[in-house]
Amino acid sequence: MSVTPANHKFATRTIDVAEFFKIVLLSLFTLLWLVPVFAAFITSFRTMDDITLRGFWSWPEALSVTNFIKAWGAARVGKYLLNSFIITLPSLAGMIFLSSLAAYALARFRFKGNMLVYFTFVAGTMLPFQILMLPVFRLTNTLGLYDTYGALILIHTAFQLGFCTFVLRNFMRTIPQDIMDAARVDGCGEFRIYWQIVLPLTVPSLAALATLEFTWVFNDYLWAIILLRSDALRPVTAGLATLRGQYNTDWPVITAGALLATIPTLFVFVFLQRYFIQGLTLGSGK
Amino acid sequence: MRDQTWDFSLSSVFALICVVILLFSFLFLPWGGTRLTDNGARLVSDAFSGAPGAREVPLLWLVPLMGSVAVIFAMWGALTPERSRLATFISIGAGIGSLVYFITALGAPQDPKFPLGLGFWAAFGASLGMIAQFLMAMPPVAAAWEGFAAGTGKVFRVPPGLVPYLFIAPALILYFVWIIAPTFYTIYLSMTNWDGITDPKFIGLDNYIRLFTKDRTFTDSLWNNLRWLVIFITVPTTLGLGMALIFNQEMRGGKIFKVSFYSPLVLSLPVIGLIWSWVYNPSLGLINSFLTGIGVTDPPGWLGDRQLAIWCVIAAAVWRQVGYVMVLYLAGLKNIDPQLVDAARVDGANRWNLFKHVIFPLLAPVTTIIAVISMIDSLRAFDLVAIMTRGGQNTQVLANFMYIEAFNNYRMGYGGAIAVVLFAISLVFIGFYLRQTLKDELEY
Amino acid sequence: MSRNSFWKIFSVALVAILLFTACSPVIQTVTVEKEVKVVETKEVKVVETVEVKVVETQQVEVMKAADTVLYNSYNGDPKPRAFDESVVSMWNEAHPEQPVEHSIIAHEDFKQAIRAYLTADPAPDVLTWFAGNRARFFIDKGLVMDISDMWAANKFNETYAPGFQELASIDGKQYFVPTSYYWWAIYYRPSLFKQAGIEKAPETFDELLTACDKLNAVGVTPFALGDRFKWPTAAWFDYLNMRTNGPQFHIDLTDLKVPYTDPKVKKVFENWKLLIDHKCFMEDHAAYDWQEAIDPMVQGKAAMYLMGAFITDSYPDEAESDLDFFRFPIIDPALPVGEDAPTDGYFMAATARNSEGGKAFLAFLGSKEVQQKAFNELNRLPTRKDVDISAASAAVQKGIALIQSADYVAQFYDRDTTAAMAEAGMEGFMRFWSNPDDIDAILADLEAERLRLVEEGN
């Protein structure tokens, strides 16, 4: 890779060889990454009998969209997707609002217990969530929230608070104190500084966080299994999981449903990508 | 009305509060009766999906629809005062829209078994508030408010020492009730023999003693988690960083490569598990077809091999993780000031030195967060194991072991003990990070 | 924007909202002035019905216009799922005043979630579950409703086969409605047998070993097996144990009454090792899901598969004409014959809100009509004596004969023993596959688990 400026004559050739290797290596890696994804895509157009008869990696005998129709209709993916949104969006709003409030205080003020609270939030991100399942189920049940959207919204909001606060606090620390102090001198209340000065500056980080959290909350399914009973409320991942049988499973339909379920995530990625790229910087290189 | 004394910024904040109350009541509070399960969202959901016996609530869908539209604009308006006038008008429109439902509902005959509940009244009030908020923007009201605020401001001023606590309180309370308290409850449970149904009996440290002295699965799982951790902190990070460095430069087809690397992120885990078990299939799978193709006579059995299986699962997890790390590093690289890099180039740094002394240190914060995420993910590793092998073939990891003990074997206490150990291990790792933070904070 | 703090805006806004909320009933009378009278007269009428209804509707979910029955099931497999849904819609058409609200979740998830279901509020009224030990666990904990009255009212004690009545009862009270079962057997491809020169299906263990050798000689793997998720291996243990030591020993072992270190248990694994030594099983079977292991059979690379009757649901329809089954061969002719025939059924949660509706729906699920339908559509064998089985295919007749000729019917290893023992046991069997010489250590570990369970009082 060393291109010494002295050897101008050979420089271009060396670069070409390096470039060539880079392209070859990249293509290999890309292939390794794309083949399974592509296989999933093809599977969703095949029938289970076709796969059993000819093997998964064989050339499909026929392709059809029946699996997608089945997934959307009989497997109610459309309805489940709506539920996913009803659960995910309020959770996102809740966790981002509450954690940005907390992060603001943690980043800006020195007060007793600051580090303790921060550590509690950070340590919470390390919790294996399965540890909480039964206690949270009992709590939810006692409060009368079992089998409601609210049960899932609350646990998702609470569980992700740790990570959000951790990220936002680190980001907010990089905002120069002078800006806030200046606002203070102008007579702004603390809440207004937070709302009208700090929050707009944090938007890229918020967007990045929202993207990540969206995929996490959207793809959760264990909480939905434990905290919901009714099919009518189920989010899409849990809904798709019901297609798995005790003995027999129609994998192509599940794959088709899963692909449909990724569309919102894809949208979020595409639309928020711009922010995402600026987003999780945590102040690096500012 | 471009009268200077109309002040929409105040009213749009008020509108935002009303919309939030409207949506909250709709989602959480009983729309009829007193049960929380009878909330508005459930009513609409049931009616929408034609659930058997669903109650007819004409026009109720107006409430969430109007609410969702209004909340977006109200937030926008409250954050950017220039837009607040538009936000105010939209809020009025949405308020009137949902009022259509409320008036119909009040006019319709009531079902005595299902009297209108708290959620209904709160949402009704909120929708009236969404309309009435414009009053707050009227010149006399705004002026009166200003006078009132100036007068009471001195009386009700929040003591400065209390401010940070007020900011933290909402998050902390929620966190305490849903996360911290259940955690401590689990710690208590880990010292009992609770089966999840009958009353727990306190048995001291018996569960822990058994874990560390008698339980083979536990030690096996622990080792598997450590393998996972080591691989996860090194491989995806290096690969992801390498990719990010390559893609950060302009290159032909870069976008296609980039997209391909993070495409696994949008696939759901069951599908990933399914595809990879087909990749590993010893007779028809992708790898072995390739191996026999190049002349290997006895290719390995991958997931069927007790020594190899865990590495197979980890490889699938790495495959998923690389794109994720790459995205994070790309984000970091985009934020490096090009001037710094140019300056280093002018100083004659070669590529390696440039990377080592300039780029990598600047990426340190991103590396930290990636390390933390990788650590969390590897210690909490669960899904892929549960999907690909259900813990068989020596692939058990602590999180899945805990889940099986607690939920399949009805040993909630024992499962709790495993979880506590897992948490303790995580704390050791996070401890290093926290110590560093603390040091930085003290210098700061 | 004025220069005052946002805190005050918030507090005033909150107060204002509360005021609005408090005022809203007043506004109501103002806006619908004309209609007030109408509402009032209606309310007078309604009061009477309330008083009558309160008694019976107290426990009914308020939410619904009708008194729904909450029904949760684990039938995720494509065909049983379609059957389950059609049964529910049959009920809903006949009983619009008491419709069933049906929720399915995956079988594996159901096993984890059931404990939450049974202690939740609202609990499902009716649930699917396995007969036998797994149901007993919840009955003992008082989480299952006593349905003796429904059982008697519907004359189930006359129409159900005696063995299944026993399965449903504890101390003379009924808690469970067993509705269907299916058989396990060795499925095989006759064409491959012919190719290897095997004239008839093996009836003894020696014949089985010879058949394996003959198949190996023509390059066909004798047994397909896909036990990545462990349970297909448990069938091998069940059958080898019942054939080697007799059903009674198997019952005692799964009931945790006999130690796993008993020399009889070791004999099971010696027979098992004979099969391994004769290269009876396909390579790397632990790498395959059971459905994936059908592939080699369809492609003619493997000849037999020890599996439940549900194999036909996954077996490609085009290939099914070349598929038959036979009883697991006899090892010790002096012993009674035991077979695996897992039974599924339904029960009600002890805290069911709609106990009347639930019982009515349960009676429907256990009725002749539904069992006939299950038999016709799913090939599930009925537990009632009055179901017409004459129209069944030859294969199903053979399955019925297989079970009827058995001296004892077991459920299946993971249903007969406790969940924790099944988990440990199946892990032990998997270890045995990869290292058959390690059997003493494996059995010692299983015995430790058994002792622990006995100590825990399960």
Q: pLDDT: is B309 or A63 the higher one?
A: B309
What is the DSSP track for A60-121?
Answer: PS---SHHHHHHHTTT-HHHHHHHHHHHHHHHHHHHHHHHHHHHHHHHH---TTHHHHHHHH
Give the model's pLDDT for residue B156. 63
Residue range C375-380: mean pLDDT, rounded: 88
Sign (positive or negative) of CA dihedral C432, C435, C436, C440 = negative
Angle at B146 between CA B142 and CA B151, to 5 degrees: 150
Q: What is the pLDDT of residues A8-42, one digit of tens each?
A: 444 455 567 777 887 888 888 888 888 888 888 88
Distance CA A165, CA B170 (A): 13
Across the interface, which of C102, C106, C308 has its CB nearest the CB of A244?
C106
Give the model's pLDDT for residue B296. 84
Give the model's pLDDT for residue B308. 92
Q: Single out the residue of A107, B396, A192, A93 nearest to residue C424, CA to CA.
A: B396
pLDDT exceeds cutoff 50 at C22: no
Same domain? B141 vs B285:
no
pLDDT class of A49 with cuts at 50, 70, 90: confident
Across the interface, which of B132, B145, B303 has its CB nearest the CB of C228?
B303
pLDDT exceeds cutoff 70 at C262: yes
Kindly state whether A141 is in contact with chain C, defined as any CB-CB distance less than 8 angstroms. yes
Same domain? B58 vs B143:
yes
- Residue C1 CB burial class (10 angstroms; 0-12, 13-18, ≥19): middle
Give the residue range(s) of CATH 1.10.3720.10 domains in chain A.
76-279
- For A110-114, A268-272, C25-29, C334-338, which range has the lowest pLDDT when averaged over its residues? C25-29
pLDDT exceeds cutoff 80 at A269: no
Same domain? C214 vs C94:
no
Q: pLDDT: is C141 or C328 the higher one?
A: C328
For residue B359, give the CATH number of its domain. 1.10.3720.10
Output DSSP code: residue C5.
-
Q: pLDDT: is C323 or C133 the higher one?
A: C323
Which residues, in sequence order, are CB contacts of B189 under 8 Å at separation 6+? A134, A135, B200, B412, B413, B416
Residue range C142-156: mean pLDDT, rounded: 94
Encoded amino acid at B63, one letter:
V
Does any domain span residue B16?
yes
Q: What is the pLDDT of residues B88-112, one digit of tens each?
A: 888 899 999 999 999 988 888 887 7
Q: Which two tokens stand for residue B121?
A: 């009244």
Residue range C335-341: mean pLDDT, rounded: 95
Does any domain span residue C243?
yes
Does any domain span residue B430?
yes
Low-confidence ranges of chain B (pLDDT < 70): 1-5, 149-157, 442-444
Q: Which residues span the domain enclosing B79?
A: 8-157
> B164: which chain A residues are within 8 Å (Cβ-Cβ)?
105, 108-109, 111, 114
Does any domain span residue C326?
yes
Output DSSP code: residue C349.
B
Does any domain span residue C223?
yes
Total domains present in chain C? 2
Q: Contact C108/A244, CB-based, under 8 Å?
A: yes
Q: pLDDT: is C251 or B10 the higher one?
A: C251
Q: What is the pLDDT of residues C187-240, one digit of tens each?
A: 999 999 999 999 999 999 999 999 999 999 999 999 999 999 999 999 999 999
How many Å lie between the alpha carbon of C412 and the closest alpha carbon of chain B?
A: 17
Q: Contact B48/A278, CB-based, under 8 Å?
A: no
Same domain? B258 vs B115:
no
Does any domain span residue C280?
yes
Which residues, in sequence order, are CB contacts of C69 under 8 Å at separation 6+? C98, C99, C100, C101, C125, C126, C354, C357, C358, C360, C361
How many Å lie between the alpha carbon of C107 and the closest alpha carbon of chain A?
A: 5
Q: What is the pLDDT of residues A137-172, one digit of tens each?
A: 999 999 999 999 999 999 999 999 998 998 899 888
Does any domain span residue B178?
no
The ipTM, to two decimals, is 0.86
- For A43-47, A94-98, C250-254, which range has the lowest pLDDT when averaged over its residues? A43-47
SS3 C180: strand
Identify the closest residue of chain B to C301 by CA–CA distance.
B283
Same domain? C205 vs C332:
yes
For residue C255, give the CATH number of its domain. 3.40.190.10
- For B2-6, C152-156, C180-184, C285-289, which range has the lowest pLDDT when averaged over its residues? B2-6
Give the model's pLDDT for residue B152. 62
Give the model's pLDDT for residue C233. 95
- Residue B129 CB burial class (10 angstroms; 0-12, 13-18, ≥19): buried
Same domain? C366 vs C423:
no
How many Å lie between the alpha carbon of B430 and the closest alpha carbon of chain A?
A: 7
- For A42-56, B377-391, C313-327, which range has the lowest pLDDT when averaged over its residues? A42-56
**Can you list the alpha helix ranges (DSSP code H) found in C102-230?**
107-119, 133-140, 148-153, 156-159, 162-168, 190-196, 205-217
Q: What's CA B216's distance to the chain center, in Å?
A: 34
Contact B67, B26 (CB under 8 A): yes
Same domain? B263 vs B408:
yes
pLDDT exceeds cutoff 50 at C168: yes
How many Å lie between the alpha carbon of B252 and the closest alpha carbon of chain A?
A: 10
CA dihedral of residues A58, A63, A69, A74 (deg, nearest 10): -40
Q: Which residues span the domain enclosing C370?
A: 69-182+342-386
Output DSSP code: residue B275.
H
The residues facing C101 across adjacent strands are: C70
State the greatest distance between any 2 C-alpha atoms of chain A, in Å, as a whole number.
Answer: 79
Contact B405, B415 (CB under 8 A): yes
Give the model's pLDDT for residue A285. 34
Identify the domain boundary among B157, B180, B206: B157
Does any domain span residue B163?
no
Give the model's pLDDT for residue B151. 65
> C91: which chain B residues are within 8 Å (Cβ-Cβ)?
none
Does any domain span residue B173?
no
A neighbours by CB contacts (3+ pairs under 8 Å): B, C
Does any domain span residue B281?
yes
Total domains present in chain B? 2
Same domain? C356 vs C316:
no
Contact C74, C104 (CB under 8 A): yes
pLDDT class of A243 with cuts at 50, 70, 90: confident
pLDDT class of C118 with cuts at 50, 70, 90: very high
Give the model's pLDDT for residue B52. 77
> B197: which chain C residues are within 8 Å (Cβ-Cβ)?
115, 118-119, 141, 143
Identify the domain boundary among B138, B157, B176: B157
Same domain? C304 vs C244:
yes
Give the model's pLDDT for residue C19. 46
Encoded amino acid at C27, one letter:
I
What part of A 151-180 touches B (C-beta under 8 Å)? 153-155, 157-159, 161-162, 165, 167, 170
The CATH topology of domain A76-279 is MetI-like fold (1.10.3720)
Q: Contact A226/C313, CB-based, under 8 Å?
A: no
How many Å lie between the alpha carbon of C166 and the closest alpha carbon of chain A?
A: 26
Same domain? B220 vs B150:
no
Contact A144, C63 (CB under 8 A): no
pLDDT exceeds cutoff 50 at C61: no
Does any domain span residue C104?
yes
What is the DSSP track for B288-302?
Answer: HHHHHHTT-SS---G
Does any domain span residue B202?
no
Give the model's pLDDT for residue C49. 36
Distance CA C251, CA C173 (A): 23
Best A198, A228, A248 member to test C by mutation, with max C CBs in 10 Å, is A248
Residue range A188-204: mean pLDDT, rounded: 83
Same domain? B116 vs B231:
no
What are the φ and ψ backbone dihedral angles of C35, each rounded to 5 degrees? -85, -10
Kindly state whether A146 is in contact with chain C, defined as any CB-CB distance less than 8 angstroms. yes
Q: Contact C295/B284, CB-based, under 8 Å?
A: yes
Does any domain span residue C192?
yes
Across the interface, which of C14, C102, C292 has its CB nearest the CB of B281?
C292
SS3 C207: helix
Give the model's pLDDT for residue C220. 95
